[in-house]
Amino acid sequence: MFRTFTRASNFLLFISFLLVAGIASQVSAQLLPSAPADNASTPAVDPYGRTNPRSSIEGYLKAIRQEDFERASRYLDMSNLDADEQKETGKKRSRELIQLLDRDGYINEINALSTSPEGKLNDELNANLEQVGVLDRSERNIPLIMHQINGPNDLKIWVFEPSMLNRVPFLLRVTDEGLLDRILPEQLKTYKVGTVAAGHWIGIFVAALAALAIGYLISSFIVAVLRAILRQRSDLPGHGVLRSIRIPLAVVLGVSFYRVAVVVLGIQVVARDYINWLATIASLLALIWLLMRIVDGIGEFARYGMSRTNRLSSVAVVMLARRMAKAVVIGIIGITILDILGVDVTTGLAALGIGGLALALGAQKTIENLVGSITVVADKPVRVGDFCKFGGVMGTVEDIGIRSTQVRTLDRTVVTVPNGAFSAMEIENYSVRDRFKMQTILGMRYETTPDQIRYLLSEIRRLLDNHPSVLGESLRVRFVNFNSSSVDIEIFCYIKVTDYNSFLEVQENLFLGVMDIVEASGTQFAFPSQTLYLGKDGAPSPQDAAKISKLVQKMDKSGDLPLQKFDQEPTSDTAPRLPAVKSAKA
């Protein structure tokens, strides 16, 4: 509990530091005045940036921060007044409008406002109207409206709607001061930092800390309830994920409470605008953190369900989907943060569309690896944990990612193979083997007699046939060859095990039994050898050769020569006969 409290307090201090740093940077930037961009030589561009609702609100708030009410009046539609009245009335109305918003109104989030010259077309207002906030939150709930008109040089510009502005003086008289102004001492209301009263900066700081503390308490309660539910099923995953979502959930909730608190307290709109971007970015970063943990939790539950139903081959699919979901979340929120910071995201996306072909050509390998990862996951030649061989590499698959597959080799190193190349390789998966082949050649000495060979064949067959792990239909023990240094007996069978260590154990047991049989037979295993015969030798006798030739001719005429003629069909009488050896099963 103490460690959790320490982490929470450190996080609150970090957010507080960001708030102070954001306020300081914004104030220092706004203390530098900027001249109006009133240049008649560029009629195609509005000098006040009123081409869409968002830029008009930003320009109005910037003028208010600089206390330039004459410039701020440019964002009000004063066309219903005479030219002489427009300047003074516009400055007065700008001051009254911001005072009313300070007391009980608010402006929508800047990043939620439309950047289209036509405004939002899917709302319930007319095409040339846009609601950008609320003027009065009381039971009247008066919306803050801008509308599009023809400006100088026939440009379409967005300004505050005149009928709404006409109601501002009355609403200002009937609306009380904000809660914070009613409780602050006069010194904190008159002393200003930038253009904002010092008391309002203090109010923002206190509201942020209080909102984050409330968010943390509510987040802890939610996590405790969920953990109590999971505690009933101790075998379910997700306990670690629940602990990790407490802080990001607290920040998301805290920012929401903060936005309500600054309106209820009556914090000046200018002060809110100074740090709204910081609060929004903090909430988006916390949202990324929260969504990542939620994706991990869903992935853990999916893996748990697959392991219970023995669908282990789909684990790689879950891991790939989890990574892709995280990438999508980061991409969407990253674009949103860039938009808040003022980066022209629309232009960037358009540039990506124009350069899509070049990007595709430049990212051929990336796309190839992505397609390869999908192929590996869908085709399932290997799964995480499988022992396989490919391209001369043998090892255990540890991870199948979006770009590559990682394999732990027998040397305990990790080989990373791009999925594009991996999916095109010939992969031998040892983990899906249903049996092991055992095949060996026994080389016996040439001094082994035929009866000893018959004994070996019979006893080795009996040994294999009686072993429970040997598949009987695959069993073969045969005298197969006269080698240069040995007479060879082949042993061939399949072992009914799927684990390599178990196979080695069975093979070891059988080989030891074969050695006992060879020892009992009285013969021995052969070694490569040569036999040297010493003696006097002469040329073959021609008389003996002629005698044998006459004998063979005589035997051939009388039918006593038992040689099979190749133009005759072999008969059972001329076929050689070997003594049959009965197996133990027979």
The residue ranking higher by pLDDT, 438 or 186, is 438
Same domain flag for 427 and 497: no
Residue 180 falls within a domain, yes or no? no
Same domain flag for 214 and 350: yes
The residue ranking higher by pLDDT, 542 or 35, is 542
Q: What angle do CA 507, 513, 519 make, to 5 degrees?
A: 135
* Helices 315-340 and 345-354, packing angle to 10 deg: 130
Instruction: List alpha helices for 232-341, DSSP H.
Output: 239-244, 246-265, 269-308, 315-340
Residue 4 falls within a domain, yes or no? no
Most confident range (mean pLDDT) of 289-303, 364-378, 425-439 is 425-439
Residues 147-176 pLDDT 10s: 998 887 788 899 999 888 888 888 888 888
User: Under a CB-based contact definition with an 8 Å cutoff, are residues 414 and 406 in contact?
Assistant: yes
Q: Which two tokens stand for residue 551?
A: 């004998």
Task: Check whether 488 has a pLDDT greater than 70.
Answer: yes
Count H helices and E strands in the chain, helices first: 20, 14
Query: Residue 203's closest CA among 213, 211, 195?
Result: 211
Q: What is the mean pLDDT of the chain?
A: 78
Most confident range (mean pLDDT) of 30-39, 210-219, 415-424 is 210-219
Q: Distance (Å, rounded) from C-alpha 537 to C-alpha 152?
A: 129
For residue 79, report the phi and psi dihedrals to the nearest 5 degrees: -65, -15
Q: To 10 degrees, the CA torsion angle through 318, 319, 324, 328?
A: 90
Q: What is the pLDDT of residue 346?
A: 65
DSSP per-residue codes, 445-480: -TT--HHHHHHHHHHHHHHHHT-TTB-GGG-EEEEE
Q: Distance (Å, rounded) from C-alpha 245 to C-alpha 210?
A: 20
Task: Check whether 361 has a pLDDT greater than 80.
Answer: no
Task: Check whether 23 has a pLDDT greater than 80.
Answer: no
Domain boundary pick from 354, 388, 409: 354
Residue 116 falls within a domain, yes or no? yes
Those residues with Cβ within 8 angstroms of residue 6's Cβ, 6 or more apart along the chain or in another chain: none
Least confident of 1-10, 294-303, 403-412: 1-10
Least confident of 307-321, 444-458, 506-520: 307-321
Element (H, E) at 90: helix 83-104
DSSP secondary structure letter of residue 125: S
Neighbours of 74 (CB within 10 A): 23
Q: Which domain holds residue 112?
A: 33-175
Q: What is the pLDDT of residue 42?
A: 43
Residues 28-41 pLDDT 10s: 444 444 444 444 44
Residue 235 falls within a domain, yes or no? yes
The residue ranking higher by pLDDT, 390 or 281, is 390
Beta-carbon-side half-sphere exposure of residue 147 (alpha carbons within 13 Å):
16
Q: Which two tokens stand for residue 349?
A: 């996306």
Q: Which two tokens stand for residue 464?
A: 């294999």
DSSP secondary structure letter of residue 140: T
Same domain flag for 161 and 222: no
Which amino acid, residue 337? I
Residue 25 falls within a domain, yes or no? no
Same domain flag for 239 and 296: yes
Residues 346-373 have a mean pLDDT of: 61
Cα four-point dihedral sign 348, 350, 351, 357 = positive
Task: Check whether 313 has a pLDDT greater than 90.
Answer: no
Q: Distance (Å, rounded) from C-alpha 33 to C-alpha 214?
A: 39
Q: What is the pLDDT of residue 27?
A: 44
Q: Which residues of 212-234 are buried (b: 16+ CB within 10 A; e: fewer)?
A: bbbbbeebbebbeeeeeebeeee
Residues 274-309 pLDDT 10s: 788 788 888 888 888 888 888 887 777 777 666 665
Same domain flag for 100 and 159: yes
Q: Which two tokens stand for residue 447?
A: 């001094």
Q: Count of domains in the chain?
A: 4
Q: What is the pLDDT of residue 470?
A: 93
Q: Distance (Å, rounded) from C-alpha 519 to C-alpha 513?
A: 10
Most confident range (mean pLDDT) of 169-173, 235-239, 355-359, 455-459 is 455-459
Q: Distance (Å, rounded) from C-alpha 65 to C-alpha 444?
A: 103
Same domain flag for 380 and 282: no
DSSP secondary structure letter of residue 409: E
Q: What is the pLDDT of residue 181?
A: 83
DSSP per-residue codes, 168-223: HHHHHHHSPPPHHHHHS-HHHHHSEETTEEHHHHHHHHHHHHHHHHHHHHHHHHHH
Task: Check whether 325 has a pLDDT greater than 50.
Answer: yes
Length of the chain: 586
Same domain flag for 272 and 344: yes
- The tokens 């929260």 sit on which residue? 290
Q: What is the pLDDT of residue 109?
A: 82
Residue 369 maps to which CATH number? 2.30.30.60
Domain boundary pick from 307, 327, 354: 354
Same domain flag for 423 and 441: no
The Cα-based distances of 109 to 27, 58, 131, 455, 472 in angstroms read: 20, 11, 12, 94, 78
pLDDT tier, 572 (very low <50, low <70, confident <90, very high otherwise): very low
Residue 460 maps to which CATH number? 3.30.70.100
Neighbours of 481 (CB within 10 A): 12
Element (H, E) at 57: helix 53-65
Q: What angle do CA 237, 239, 242 make, to 5 degrees?
A: 120
Task: Check whether 91 has a pLDDT greater than 60.
Answer: yes
Same domain flag for 344 and 369: no
Cα four-point dihedral sign 240, 242, 247, 251 = positive
Domain boundary pick from 400, 432, 464: 432
Residue 419 falls within a domain, yes or no? yes
Query: Residue 318's closest CA among 296, 333, 336, 338?
Result: 296
- Give the three-class secondary structure for 77: coil
Task: Check whether 190 has a pLDDT greater than 70.
Answer: yes
Task: Check whether 92 has a pLDDT greater than 50.
Answer: yes
Q: What is the pLDDT of residue 119?
A: 86
Same domain flag for 349 and 397: no
Residue 542 falls within a domain, yes or no? no
The pairing of strands 129-136 and 156-160 is unpaired
DSSP per-residue codes, 548-568: HHHHHHHHHHHT------TTS
Residue 26 falls within a domain, yes or no? no
Same domain flag for 310 and 219: yes
Query: Residue 29's closest CA among 202, 274, 197?
Result: 274
Same domain flag for 284 and 302: yes
